[in-house]
Structure 1
Amino acid sequence: MPIFEYRCGQCGREFEELVFKDDAAVPCPKCGSTETEKLMSCCRFKTGPSPFPYKDQAIPAPAAGPSSRSACASCSGGSCATCK
């Protein structure tokens, strides 16, 4: 389907429109002006079962406190002898 993005030169509104003729003047749905320009659209596509294979896994939170080191299993703040 030929759906294009446009920006109105009069009111600045950005909108999408289904256009069958590339040379047709596309009016703005807000103000009705035909001073519209076609924008470069972002292209997205999906390959495989999921582009984000780890989306259901939790992301670990950074360690609390002034230290940038991560905490080990024996403490929670990264301040024990094993962490240093």
Structure 2
Amino acid sequence: MKPTILAMGAHPDDMELEAGGTLAKYAKKGYNVNLLVLTSGGYTDMNGVSYQNEELRDEARESAKILGIKELFFFDYPTRDLQVSGEVIG
């Protein structure tokens, strides 16, 4: 049985941008690679373009498929107001 890898990030796309190649490599080798996204991810950029939570979730699901990710978890904490607490850490 291959080990399980859990990559965690604050926002949708954090793990893919920072470790996508490594995650895909281990998924291809048969490891159980999972992603955990702490926040909902919705935001408005400097040009006033709004990115909605569900749109970002869909994009995260698609990238997870491409990378061979086994499971993707969303915790849905507020994007700009993630407080350090025992709930988040534990």
TM range (shorter): under 0.3
TM, length-normalised to structure 2: 0.21
Structure with more helix by fraction: 2
Which entry has the higher C-alpha Rg, 1 or 2? 1
Structure with more strand by fraction: 2
